[in-house]
Amino acid sequence: LTGVPREQRAFQYVLAHAIPGDPRHVLQTFDQWGYRCEHLSCVGPVKGRIVERLLYERAPRRVLELGTYCGYGTVLLAQALPAGARLYTVEGNPHHAAVAEKVIRLAGFDEQTVELIVGPSAEVIPQLREQHGLPKADFVFMDHGKRCYLRDLRLLESHQLLAPGATVLADNVLFPGAPHFLQYAKTCGKYRCKVHRASLEY
C-alpha cells in the first residue's frame, strides 16, 4: 500500500534503531523486524550461528557470498572474518544491492573489507579473478537462487576459483530445495558433505 518495498521498510527500521558501526546490533535489529513485523529471507539467528561457527573454525582469508539480498548475511560473514580477510558479495537485483550497500556501511565495513558486486552470478563469477582480484575463495556462502547453485558451483570449479580445502556452504538446500546441487555435491567425489538441520528463519 505504501509503495515502499519490504526490504526498504526493513532498512528504515534498522537505520532508526541500530547502533551504527556495531555489526551485532545491526543483525539483532534485523531479527527484531523479522520476528515482529515482516518476514525477510535473511539467514536469521539460528542458521547464523552455524555460519559463524564454520567461519571461526576455518578462518578463511577470502570469502565469496552469492546472494547479498539486504546485507544481513554479508554483515554476519564480515563480522566473523579474521583480521585482514576480504569478503566479496554478489547480488543480481540492483534494488536489493542498493539496500545492502547501506546496511554493510552502516555496520561499519568499508570497501577494503567488503566488496559488493552487482550483477548476475553467472556473469560475475568468470570475472572475479581479473576484474575483482579474487584469486581463489577459501569459503563460499550460497544464498541466492536455488536453481543457480549447481550451475554456479561448476562455474567456480571451471574457473579454478575454489582454494584447496575450500568450504562451500549452501542455504535452503532441503526447502525450498536444490536437489541437483545436493546430488552433485554428494556423488561427484570432490566434496565431503554434511547437512546442517535448522528451522526456517523467523
Report the C-alpha gap between 27 and 48 in whole angstroms.
10
126 DSSP 8-state letter: G
> Which one is catalytic: 7, 65, 138, 146?
146
Closest CA to 81 of 120, 31, 131, 139: 139
Report the C-alpha gap between 10 and 34 in whole angstroms.
8
201 included as an active-site residue: yes
> Which one is catalytic: 130, 171, 186, 190?
171
SS3 192: coil
Closest CA to 169 of 138, 146, 195, 142: 142
31 included as an active-site residue: no
The neighbour count for residue 151, using CB atoms within 10 Å, is 15
186 included as an active-site residue: no
Residues facing 90 on adjacent strands: 66, 117
CB 174 within 8 A of CB 147: no
Residue that has been written with the C-alpha cell 575483482 in this structure: 132
* End-to-end alpha carbon distance in the chain: 23
> Which one is catalytic: 65, 101, 138, 172?
172
> Which one is catalytic: 143, 157, 186, 194?
143
Q: Which residues form the catalytic set?
A: 143, 146, 171-172, 201
